[in-house]
Amino acid sequence: MKGILKIYHPEETVKYSIKNSYCKSVYSNMQHFLEVEITTDDSLDQVEDDSLQYDFPQISFTISDFPVKEAELAGKIFLVNDAPDEIYSEVDLYDDEEAFLYDNELSFQKNSEDVLEVIWKGTIDDFYTGSEKPIPFKLKCHFKPDEIEVDED
């Protein structure tokens, strides 16, 4: 597991395990841009049948093309807010439902193994019950590369 995402809905705190994570500072046209993608696991083993999570087993959060001053991310905090003409954040519910992210704060640091981590806080549309008020979320994950084991026959 690469981390955890918690969505603090008034009816229950919904917890997702993070399966994949990707982060990079991309240099293009003499400017650095932040690219982050976090995808949760779709396992429902720990989920109760009446949980809000049951209808939305997997979620993906993305930040793309967000301008940053330099390539180094560790020790930095970025406040990412979309504007009508500049959309940096996206959420994929793997469903027909739609949701948007707001008030994104991404805080990067290196852990004891010198691996980059992010704590991402913000709010998201209440896609569980359709309430008008966005609900808070927090995720923490690392960006340690997956080790692929190849069996030699």
**Per-residue pLDDT tens for 17-30?**
899 999 999 988 88
| Sheet strands (E) in 9-142 | 13-28, 31-40, 60-68, 77-80, 89-92, 101-110, 116-124, 135-142
Per-residue pLDDT reduced to its tens digit, 18-77: 999 999 999 888 899 999 999 998 776 666 666 776 677 789 999 999 999 999 999 999
Q: Which domain holds residue 76?
A: 3-142
Q: Is there a domain that residue 151 lies in?
A: no
Q: Is there a domain that residue 153 lies in?
A: no
Q: Is there a domain that residue 62 lies in?
A: yes
Q: Three-state SS for 58? A: coil
Q: Three-state SS for 55? A: helix
The model's pTM is: 0.88
Q: Is there a domain that residue 147 lies in?
A: no
Q: Is there a domain that residue 148 lies in?
A: no
Q: Is there a domain that residue 122 lies in?
A: yes
Q: Is there a domain that residue 152 lies in?
A: no
Beta-bridge mates of residue 60: 39, 92
Q: Is there a domain that residue 37 lies in?
A: yes
The HSE-up count of residue 66 (CA atoms within 13 Å, CB side) is 25
Q: How many domains does the structure of the chain reveal?
A: 1
Give the CA-trace dihedral at 22, 104, 40, 74, to 10 degrees.
Answer: 40
